[in-house]
Structure 1
Amino acid sequence: MKSKFLFILTTFFALNLSFGQTSCSQYYPMVDGANFEYTSYDKKGNEEGKINYKVTNVNGSGDNISATMVMDIADKKGNTYSSEYNITCDGNAVKVDFKSLMNEQMLNQLGQMEVDITGTDVEWPNNLSIGQALPDGNVNVKMKMGGAINMNMNVETINRKVEKKESVTTPAGTFDCYVIYSETKTKMMMNNQTSPSRVWLAEGVGMIKQESYNKSGKLMASSMLTQFSK
């Protein structure tokens, strides 16, 4: 049960990035019916799973828009998980309602464990430029897994910086991207780990590719956009 929860949670945090474009946000999917499929790979390039997003219930206009993100995850063993969460945009920043991720549907799949999520959203400004430093983000997760078993996890995203521009080709097409470097600090139980990563972000689409490395800079995992429509 714990491994199932961690798969869902880490997949959500890894891909909780920007996807589309409206007048409210250059990099978040606020278009009703938009669909995104990401495929994840291990360090050897073997497929690990897929995650599909669909944008629904878009309300508002201009600089004030809200929407629901429907998320379907399938791991390499064929297990599937589904949930949805709320996103809002005020013209300056996009906010994700982390608590809405732990809805009744998700908790039923996780065996009714009690989960409390708090934190500061990772923000993507509408205007990016090479050398620009981006705000840090953090997420705190407290889990009660039955009886006296509790588990806490803290994830910080730090040292975020726009490194360069680069063209990237995936099965979904070829995109001109900004490359954003960051470091993710994860604290869970007695285990502390810092993992560098890079995200390739395209205006009007969002995250195209992501790579995670160990502290020596060796590639450990990756994901890329494999289908896209809106």
Structure 2
Amino acid sequence: MKTKIIVLISVFFISFTSLSQNACKAYYPFEEGTKFEITNYNKKGKKEGVVKYEVTNVNGNEATIKTVIFDAKGKEITTSNYKVMCEGNKVSIDFKSLINPDMLKQYKDMDMDITGTNIELPNDLQVGQSLKDANMNMAINMGGITMNMKIDMLNRKVDKKESITTPAGTFDCFALSYDSEMKMGMKMKFSIKEWIAEGVGVVKNESYNKNGKLMGYSELTSFKK
């Protein structure tokens, strides 16, 4: 169960940091036809799944991204789409578009009330910069019983610049970090480290528990324009 939650969180946070727009393209691709792949691993380096992304449409300041999730054996689990918007000198991602697709599939016939604060990523990142917090609240009506889920992204900041190598290549990155709290019956806290590269997006993502131990990580394994 814990492993599945880590994968869900990895997909969730990688999805939100994957794109930008012509006016907001410093750190992410916003070109129709761009395809990239993120592979998820557990703490021992065992492959747990793959997420394939494609920029299927760019319309003004809004891009549509197709997401296909596969399990460790390459079996397709589900497909979904979400949108990313460019607002001034930042990218803004609607939380409603970034709910884990497995969850949407599971609760598709139920009423869902979703509120939250969009994730913002400035175009002019600098070492030492603090970024705005973000959150999502979701209430699912399950036949008279309401299940609540909340995700908070806190203490977001830009830590440093460094070079990162993955199967997709070597990239000069900004290293970001933030705290994540997930509440769904019980509360779970994680620390996230993430590396993003100009014109590429997320190169690597690591999740740590409250004791600072690695729980799992994700890497960019393919990138094609």
SS at match of 1:124: strand
* Structure 1 residue runs without a partner (length 5+): none
Aligned match of 2:37? 37
**C-alpha distance in 1 between matches for 2:119 and 2:147:** 23
Alignment match of 1:123 (pick from 107, 120, 125)? 120
* Structure 2 residue runs without a partner (length 5+): none
Q: CA deviation at 1:148?
A: 3.5
Greater alpha carbon shift after TM alignment, 14-23 vs 88-97: 14-23
Alignment match of 1:154 (pick from 150, 157, 160)? 150
SS at match of 1:10: helix
**C-alpha distance in 1 between matches for 2:53 and 2:175:** 22
Amino acid at match of 1:125: P
User: Are 1:50 and 2:23 an aligned pair?
Assistant: no
Q: CA deviation at 1:106?
A: 8.3
Aligned match of 1:194? 189
Cα RMSD for the two superposed structures: 2.7
**C-alpha distance in 2 between matches for 1:169 and 1:143:** 41
User: Are 1:169 and 2:165 an aligned pair?
Assistant: yes
Instruction: Tell whether the 8 Å contact from 1:176 to 1:202 is kept in structure 2 after alignment.
Output: yes
TM superposition score normalised by structure 2: 0.87
Aligned match of 1:184? 180
Instruction: Tell whether the 8 Å contact from 1:81 to 1:109 is kept in structure 2 after alignment.
Output: no
Instruction: Tell whether the 8 Å contact from 1:36 to 1:52 is kept in structure 2 after alignment.
Output: yes
SS at match of 1:74: strand
**C-alpha distance in 2 between matches for 1:86 and 1:185:** 24
**C-alpha distance in 2 between matches for 1:82 and 1:43:** 26
Amino acid at match of 1:198: K
Percent identity for Structure 1 against Structure 2: 48
Q: CA deviation at 1:216?
A: 1.2
Amino acid at match of 1:39: T
Greater alpha carbon shift after TM alignment, 215-224 vs 92-101: 92-101
TM superposition score normalised by structure 1: 0.85
Q: CA deviation at 1:116?
A: 3.0
**C-alpha distance in 1 between matches for 2:9 and 2:57:** 25
Amino acid at match of 1:46: K
**C-alpha distance in 1 between matches for 2:224 and 2:105:** 30
Give the 3 Å change call, closer, same or farther, for CA 79–112 of structure 1 in structure 2. Answer: farther
